[in-house]
Amino acid sequence: MMLQIPDVLTADQVRKCREALDEANWQDGRVTAGHMAVRAKDNQQLAQDDPLAIEIGDFIVERLGSNPQFMAAALPLKVLPPRFNRYTGGGTYGNHIDNAIFSVPGTPHRVRSDLSATLFFSDPDEYEGGELVVEDTYGSHSVKLPAGHLVLYPGSSLHRVNPVTRGARLASFMWIQSLVREDSQRAMLLDLDTAIQQLTRETPASEALVRLSGVYHNLLRQWSNT
């Protein structure tokens, strides 16, 4: 399941984050690449312990926690602290699959990357190229969203970032361990939740809503791996 979530950040929130990120201490992104990915990666990143990365990352996690669409789709158990990257001057990241498990810096905790997410800080007209291209069983999906919008997709997906040939592409990226590991099960739960919400608006007194809500929670109870 691949899902675009609009307006995770407001225009004013994006502007304030951009002002800080434009002055940030960007480093060679290959420092954090694995032995396979290092040959495909050409970008800049903020250090994970950079105070600015921690501050904006905490703010992003707070915003995600209050976003009903994200919560319904991801069913998050853990969110790895968001990271930040910058592509410019031909910067790119070739085809790769993210690590299955990530350590949370400074803690003994680990996060399984059931879902990947990219939150855009640059508008599409600010740069050429830079599309996030995600491959799945239905083909290739090219994503280039307005600033403040987020795309959510399975962490097991083969994906890449096309070369940025003009301007700069700034984004935050993160991984989520879901209460429900299987993507197909999360997709069914989201469809069911969406239908329940629609019926609640249209026929709030329907007794069928109680039964449908029970089905949703019983499926979540069965499929949750906590």
Annotated binding site for 2-oxoglutarate: 169
Q: What is the SS3 string spanning the chain?
A: CCEEECCCCCHHHHHHHHHHHCCCCCEEHHHHCCCCHHHCEECEECCCCCHHHHHHHHHHHHHHHCCHHHHHHHCEEEECCCEEEEEECCCEEEEECCCCEEECCCCCCEEECCEEEEEECCCHHHEEECCEEEEECCEEEEECCCCCCEEEEECCCEEEECCEEEEEEEEEEEEEEECCCCHHHHHHHHHHHHHHHHHHHHCCCCCHHHHHHHHHHHHHHHHCCC
For β-strands 92-96 and 83-88, DSSP reports them as: unpaired
Which residue positions form the known binding site for Fe cation? 96, 98, 159
d(CA 76, CA 154): 13
